[in-house]
Structure 1
Amino acid sequence: MKIALIVGIDYYQNVSGLHGCVNDAYSVESMLKRNDGGSINFKTKLVTSSGPTDQVNKRELKDLINVLFSQKAEVALFYFAGHGYIEANGGYLVASDATHGDDGVSLNEILAMANRSPATNKIIILDSCHSGIAGTSMENADISHLSDGMTILTASTAEQYASEENGSGIFTTLMVDALSGSAANLVGQVTPGSIYAHIDQSLGDWDKQRPVFKTNVKNFVSLREVTPPIILEDLRSIVEYFPVAGHEFQLDPTFEAELKGRDEGMPEPIEANTLIFKRLQKFNRLNLLEPVNAPHMWSAAMESKSCRLTALGEHYRRLVEKELI
């Protein structure tokens, strides 16, 4: 069972309101609720505040977080979009009824709940200002206290603000893009690590906010499954053509189905070989394979040269060899 508490707060009684947090919460829930193709993914609870009639107060927010991390789930995920606050004693998530920034739910308390959780994987995702302080020891800023299975992903460092753009948080926009498939691996899995990598690469070095990623896990869990860019049967066939590391697969003109560009006396295409070549070309397009001493795969075949796996291709070859795919 995978469960997620998703909170977005735009309305605040005593501090300035926000504009994109509720939209962000709906977008995140839409992505997490179902995998690509419609299968059930997370069981979600969505809580939002857009006006005085639907406030999310401190007591309610704290209770909801406590219930989430009390469940014995495969994954317990908490997402928050709203105001964040930092002071000498730590950081806070600000609820609708807060009179001051430190009148919110303490990030130290949230981390304590998550660290005690019976859930196998605990994931905290925060799109709020100063959220990078989450998990940091107050005694030593270089130390994080994360129990086994804990992952924290935040929109900014402890010193930075989290920005909104076009009615949505910049961080969450990139996260939703990652969940939609931009950060998927070749078997269609989107993990917290791949989400962070996607966001980190999308924000330039001069951006005023940088994401923070902290984790203590033995294996990354998939947060969403999307349609893989290659049929798994095709991917598993990689060991047929490259049985050992460093192997080169020899090509010749019989692998190329195109008749144009052939010199006189060249052998005709062989159907079985052209089918193999189509698969090898898929590997090439996914950066799993490269021609040797040729500008592209067509030239490698027509000039009877070979192809070999890239570093990424060798990685997937090993996974297939170990029956991990």
Structure 2
Amino acid sequence: MQGRKALVVGIDEYASSPLYGCVADANAVAGVLAKNGDGSPNFSIHLERNVESPFELKRMIEDCFSGDPEIALLYFAGHGGRCDVTKNGFILSGQGYPEGQLSLDEILTIANNSKAKNRVILLDSCNSGCMGAPGALGGTSSLLDEGLTILSACCSNECAEEYNGRGTFTSLLVDALNGGAADVMGHVTPGGVYAFIDKALGPWDQRPVFRTNVNSFISLRKVVSQVPDSVLRQLPSLFDTPGAQLSLDPSFEPTNSPDWEEHRIVEPYATKDNTEKFKILQQLEGIGLVRPVGAEHMYFAAMESRSCELTALGKQYWRLADTGKI
């Protein structure tokens, strides 16, 4: 997609305290962001491994946030830390501490000054929750310019853990981008990614930090949707209002036909129009948008002439379809 670029950095080779999973993490993130679930292009990726100089790393970040793309995304996996005196956070290039230090405040300033419509920063490093925290940039409150989203692996006083040679945060991030955090239409948003990671990590684990100043969520990646958009667009034609119930009867059930002699059949027999509607309703039930009323399954709702209705999530997609947003 035009106007979507991502700088993906992973550093294992440090002058002291080498790491073992950050390059693999960067490779995985670059791979999943490069294409959508159907193989279509997504982000234009600049993948960098084992960057030695903090000045070179800063230059790359400036390049990432230069111009006016739709989305500029930075992902970093490597060592990070926090100054005991100032409490300011930093990431480290391959030179290590203190020579390789690059302040999170500097990166935040670069992102804030960017003309990119949307800016996303993903940090898998210790103390990364410092970025954008109250008091950042010497102020008294969080300073995130409009259109900026930050998702950090851990709180400002925590370490970013590795498990089986991979970053815990990035392993969940990749799973989320691969569809674990997708909505019904297949879009993976930063908020969805955070919710996915947050649920996977318990109260005793590192806690991810999510900060954002946006008026609408962007899609980081599109995977195959649970049902086609054409099906979702039919919601307003099936239900007059979000709170309406759709009356069913045996004519909706396709097996209620003389052609199915091994089944008990009752009048009214299955009709083509109603069975086609029922097929759609069953698809919508399968993804949690529709539920039967007064019956355990949609089959019994039809055969017992009951009804079905939209769930709370179904009402949301009804509104999207009704206003032409699908």
Distance 1:264 1:131, change over 3 A: closer
Q: Measure, in 1, the Cα distance between the counterparts of 2:226 and 2:238.
A: 20
Distance 1:295 1:183 in 2: 28
User: In the alignment, what sits opposite 1:196?
Assistant: 194
User: Which amino acid in structure 2 is aligned with residue 167 of structure 1?
Assistant: G
Whether 2:89 is the aligned partner of 1:91: answer yes
Aligned match for 2:173, one of 175, 192, 201: 175
Query: C-alpha separation between the residues in 2 aligned to 1:35 and 1:264?
Result: 46
1:48/1:56 contact within 8 Å kept: no
State the distance in 1 between where 2:160 and 2:91 align.
13
Spell out, residue by residue over 1:104-157, the C-alpha distance to the aligned partner (whole angstroms, 9 max, x if none).
110000000100001111111000011011012337998311001000001001
Q: Please report how far the alpha carbon of residue 203 of structure 1 lies from its aligned counterpart in structure 2 after TM superposition.
A: 1.2
Q: 1:161 to 1:229 in 2, by over 3 A?
A: same
Q: Partners of 1:256 and 1:188 in 2: how far apart?
A: 29
**C-alpha distance in 1 between matches for 2:146 and 2:324:** 26
Q: In the alignment, residue 288 of structure 1 is paired with which amino acid?
A: L
Q: Which residue of structure 2 aligns with residue 116 of structure 1?
A: 113
Match of 2:242 among 228, 245, 252: 245
Structure 1's consecutive aligned runs of 4 or more residues displaced over 6 angstroms after TM superposition are: 139-142
Unaligned runs of 5+ in 2: none
Aligned residue runs from structure 1 range 2-151, under 5 A? 2-13=4-15, 15-49=16-50, 55-87=51-83, 88-89=85-86, 90-100=88-98, 103-138=100-135, 143-151=141-149
Deviations 1:279-322 (CA, angstroms, capped at 9, x unpaired): 00011011001111111111101110000000000000001111
Tell me the C-alpha RMSD between the 2 structures: 1.8
Q: Distance in 2 between matches of 1:141 and 1:289?
A: 48
Distance 1:189 1:75 in 2: 15
- In the TM superposition, residue 67 of structure 1 has moved relative to its aligned partner by 1.5
* 1:166 aligned residue (160, 164, 167): 164
Q: Distance in 1 between matches of 2:292 and 2:73?
A: 43
- In the alignment, the residues of structure 2 paired with residue 16 and residue 37 of structure 1 have an alpha-carbon distance, to the nearest angstrom, of 40
Equivalenced residues, count? 317
Taking every aligned residue pair, what percent have the same amino acid on both sides? 45
Post-superposition shift, 1:103?
A: 4.4
Q: Which letter maps to 1:241?
A: L
> What are the superposed Cα offsets for residues 30-67 of structure 1, whole Å, 9 maximum, x if unpaired?
01111112211111110012xxxxx4321111111111
Number of the residue aligned with 1:52: none
